Chain A
């Protein structure tokens, strides 16, 4: 059974960087058949896909255009986890952030518990 456990701060100041981690159990971040995604959700924007990292003989990333200049998603094979870094935060980045595994037909079949992130001074 795959489980994803998120960790990271719930309050971040404007202009600072958000860093969240998603620890994986029951699968490997280096899997050749999965990808590891970050999604956020807010009342104004609904569910918004942010990006993903995956391994297919080498590491790849894809990012949403809306955050492409500010986002980095990194795998950590030593700890079997992956992380989200989003810089230059504004109040519009306030949202519930989720990590998720992408597997069969690129569906998101396992999700983390969510982290409510508030951007405020």
Chain B
């Protein structure tokens, strides 16, 4: 299995801050890396697919980058509705795997 190591596990930030979340894969693969946002009591919501493609309807303050083993999710200017848990997901080869999640909290 490809292991996904996500960091940090939690992050405190303020509205307007720029934040970056990282996922590192245990082996290199192409751009089959996706990012999800999850709020309490809700299913995950796809934000970014194929490492850097923004899903339709997702605000442009979200962006993704990376290839090989290192991938990042960046939120350019945090908004109040962005405080949630974020998870990466490799869909390069089954069994698919997820990162452990990053809980983004208000400072």
Q: Could you list which residues of chain A lie within 8 angstroms of chain B, going by C-beta atoms?
A: 37, 46-49, 52, 62-65, 98, 100, 102, 104-109, 111-114
CB distance B96 to A49 under 8 Å? Answer: yes
A113 to chain B, nearest CB (A): 7
Chain B residues in 8 Å Cβ range of A109: 46, 49, 55
Q: Is the interface of B mostly helix, strand, loop or mixed?
A: loop
**Bound CA span A48–B44, Å:** 12
- Minimum CB–CB distance for A37 against chain B, Å: 8
Complexed CA–CA distance, A52 and B95 (Å): 10
Query: Please, how many residues of chain B have a CB less than 8 angstroms from a CB on the other chain?
Result: 25
**Once the chains bind, are B97 and A49 in contact (CB under 8 Å)?**
yes
User: Which B residues form the contact surface with A (CB < 8 A)?
Assistant: 1, 31-32, 34, 36, 43-46, 49-50, 53, 55, 87, 89, 91-92, 94-101
